[in-house]
Structure formats: structure tokens, C-alpha cells
Chains A and B, each alone.
Chain A
């Protein structure tokens, strides 16, 4: 499947099934667009007619260009057939049957009262609760016992606000470190925090033990403070920004993300990214809000063209900053064309409900953090394991080829069918698609690939 687009001054051709990326001149761009619709003679005649008054494009150039397209087709880098559909079930099986990542809901409570929170201020539509050490320890034992030969195990301390139960976080990390060698495992801990409780102790601990930290900041003060307020209604920006700056500086290059959310209040989110950069942060993530339909924060159809334009401008900004030797990272534009995921991963997706599960403070298992609170999605618990096998089967069979809407999408092997929770909330089915999210995703991929092309060509020139 071919996808052609023009961005950043490049004519770009993606061959979805081989994963190939080509930058082409205008003649090749036109030939490729016609290649599957018309025969050689007809295409060449059309090109000669179109470029008749162009001295720099001769009939010999058109012939030569056609041969180059042919040559790439023959070596499987253009018009590669989709040969993965029949293998999809088997491919997903290969990555099923083991658990390798847990999202530990260490605290179903929060010290902020953000109106747009998908977790309903950390409570997930339930009661406030914190995880005990005993429950957390059992969750880690469950993970090790069910991880098969996987060596790298991921544990995210999530909430609510996990630092409201920081002592248990520290105890669980100490416990995990005490058992990982014996079981030949390597725990990778991450922490997602709103920053309110960050102090020197948290910084020392996280910089020693956490491979990544995710720090919630929405950008401009007035945007951040619109939603991210305490229970008295006071904004949190002034309080957390200096803490984040100190935290990031102390990380000494270890991974972190400043993670923002954009909503109907700031579809022009590039201004917020600029504020993050001005504050000295360079590892950034900016996510579209996830909320109930009709919520005031919900992104609207009118917001969509604004958001799409912002993504393009963001790509331009990244290249400008590269040239000024002030590069920054945007999570969704990280794409390693040579070292990216294999076809198994591209078909299987995030692994929610199979490789990845969320654990509530009282030890229940859910397919992921976004399903917590949806009782019918409860898979089991950390003592008995997965008992709702019917529900788990839905997730095990949930691959990109199981989603009819993805069949003809050029981006399907970049997103693997998208987020099951977003799909469920938009359509009532985990194999549906959240079409608004698809629009955003496709634009992000176009931009990410353009940035990578520009960087690759710049490296070649050097």
C-alpha cells in the first residue's frame, strides 16, 4: 500500500508493507500515483504531455524515472503486497501468554482536582484508596511468575498521584531489586507525577531507580492552571515548575518526559510546547485530551484543522532547532526507521490485557489503566491470576488485522490499530477505531517521517 504526501518541501512516498520510505522528484511522484491505475505507455504519454514545456524534464528522463520505479517494485520496496494478514493471529500469539509490564495504581487519590482527568481525579469512579506494600509485593511476584523468559519487566507507578503513597513505592522498588537477580530479571521503573510532592528525597530516589519519569505540565501558565488546580481551585503551575526544573537538571541526562495535555482550550498547543522549551525542558510529550463525549474539554471538529496545522509547525520548529543546535524530542515524532519495531510488534500493538495490565490498589487486574473502573473489564486479581478468560481473549485477538476499519489505512503498521481503550470509549468495541484519534495519528506520522527524512539527508550532506 502506497501513501504519498508533500511536506517540508519533500515529495514523500511510503510503502506501508515493506516499511520503505522514499523521497522523490515530481515526475516520480506522478508516476507512482498512476502506476497501479494505468499501463506503462499511458503513464509515459501522460508525463511527456504534462512536462512538455519543461526543458529540464526530457522524454528520456521520464523513461529513466519509470525504470527506477519498476526497479524498486521488483526489489520489494514499492507496491509490496500485504502478506501479513494471514499471519496476524500467529504473530500475536508469539507475544501473548506472558506478562511483561504492570501499571501499579499505587494511589487512587490525588492532591490536584483536574477537571479533565480521565481517572476522575484519581478515583477511577470509585473510592479513594492507596496500595499496601503487601498488595504491591504480590503484584511484583505475579509479574515475575508470569513473565516467562522475558528479562526486561516494566513497572509504572501511577495514580492518581503516586507520590501520595511514596513510602510504598520505595519499599516495592527495594523488594524488586532484592529478587531480580535470582529470577534473571531487569526491572525498569517509571513514575508519573503531577509534581506537587517532589522534594529532594523523591529526586534522589527517582534518579537512582527510575528509568523514566513522566512529569505533567500543560505549558502556558493560564492553560495549565485552567484545569490543573488543587481542591481550593488554586493553579499548580507556580508550585511545580521550579520542582520539575530541579528534578530534570538532577537527572543528568536520564530519560524524562514533560507531558502535557491539550484540550478544546488550547488546540494551538505549539505555544505550550514553546513555553516548555523556554523553561529549559527538551524531552516533551503533548497528548490530546481523553474525556467523555460532550465534556467541555473535548476537542471538536473545528479544532481538528488547527491541531493538524500545529503538528506541521511543530515539525518545522524541530528542524529549525536542529539547525540552531538546540534540538528537542517530541515523543510522537521519535521514529527510528532502522531500529524500530519488528512486524510482530507492529501487528500486536500495545499488549493491553495480555502483556500489559493495570493493578488496582486492592489487587484487581484490568487490561490497562484506562479500563480501571469499568467493572466488566476486570480480568482477575494478582492472587488468582486472570480468571475472566473470555474478556482476555478479546484483547489477545485484538491485532491490527482484526480491525476492519484499519484494512485500507496506510498507517496501520505504525499504530497497530491504535488504543483499545480509545476505541472502546468511541465505539463500544475494543476492535473499533477512534476516528478523530486516527486523524491526529496519521498527521503525526507524516510529520515524524518528514523530520526523520530531513535529518537523514542533513547527515548525508555533512
Chain B
């Protein structure tokens, strides 16, 4: 019996290897303008995913 369903997510530790290209959108630049959050940003570096 499966007690735990793991939702597929990006491995954060792995992302340290090739991440940090900086091409992604600045967090609040084009929407909220008053409260920062980075969870809703898209990664633009296909190699690092």
C-alpha cells in the first residue's frame, strides 16, 4: 500500500550546479510591485532544469 504520493518537483540541490544564469524575470517587476515572492517565477535556463 502506498502511503505517500510524491509530487514531482525541481531538485533544489541539483539546481545549485547549473543555476544562476539570471535570465529569469525580476520578481515583482511586472505584476505585484508591492510584495516580493519568487515561487511564481519561471526558470528560463533549460540546461539547469
Contacts and interface: CB of A to CB of B under 8 A. Distances in A.
Interface string A56-90: 00000100110011001000110010011001000
Given A23-B4, A336-B42, A356 B29 contact: yes
B42 A340 contact: yes
A33 interface: no
A329 to B, nearest CB: 10
Contacts, number: 224
A365 interface: no
A18 B38 contact: no
A415 interface: yes
A337 B16 contact: no
Interface in B1-23: 1-13, 15-16, 18-20, 22-23
Contacts of B28: 350, 368, 419
Contacts of A415: 36-39
B7 A337 contact: yes
Interface residues of A, number: 94
A413 to B, nearest CB: 7
A273 to B, nearest CB: 15
Contacts of A23: 4-5, 7
Nearest to B23: A152
A301 interface: no
Contact of B7 (A87, A444, A452): A452
Contacts of B31: 212, 214, 257, 259, 285, 331
Nearest to A444: B37
A341 B35 contact: no
Which of B30, B31, B40, B48 has its CB near the most chain A CB atoms (within 10 A)?
Answer: B30
A28 B32 contact: no
A68 B27 contact: no
Interface stretch (A92-100, A201-209, A218-226, A303-311): A92-100
A154 B29 contact: yes
B19 A414 contact: no
Given A18-B12, A72-B4, A336-B42, A355 B22 contact: yes
A22 B13 contact: no
Given A28-B4, A337-B10, A342 B35 contact: no
Interface of A: 13, 17-25, 27-28, 61, 64-65, 68-69, 72, 76-77, 80, 83-84, 87, 91, 94-95, 98, 100-101, 103, 118, 150-152, 154, 156, 158, 188, 190, 192, 211-212, 214, 255, 257, 259, 285, 287-288, 290, 331-346, 349-351, 355-356, 368-370, 413-420, 422, 437, 440-441, 444-445, 448, 452-453, 456-457
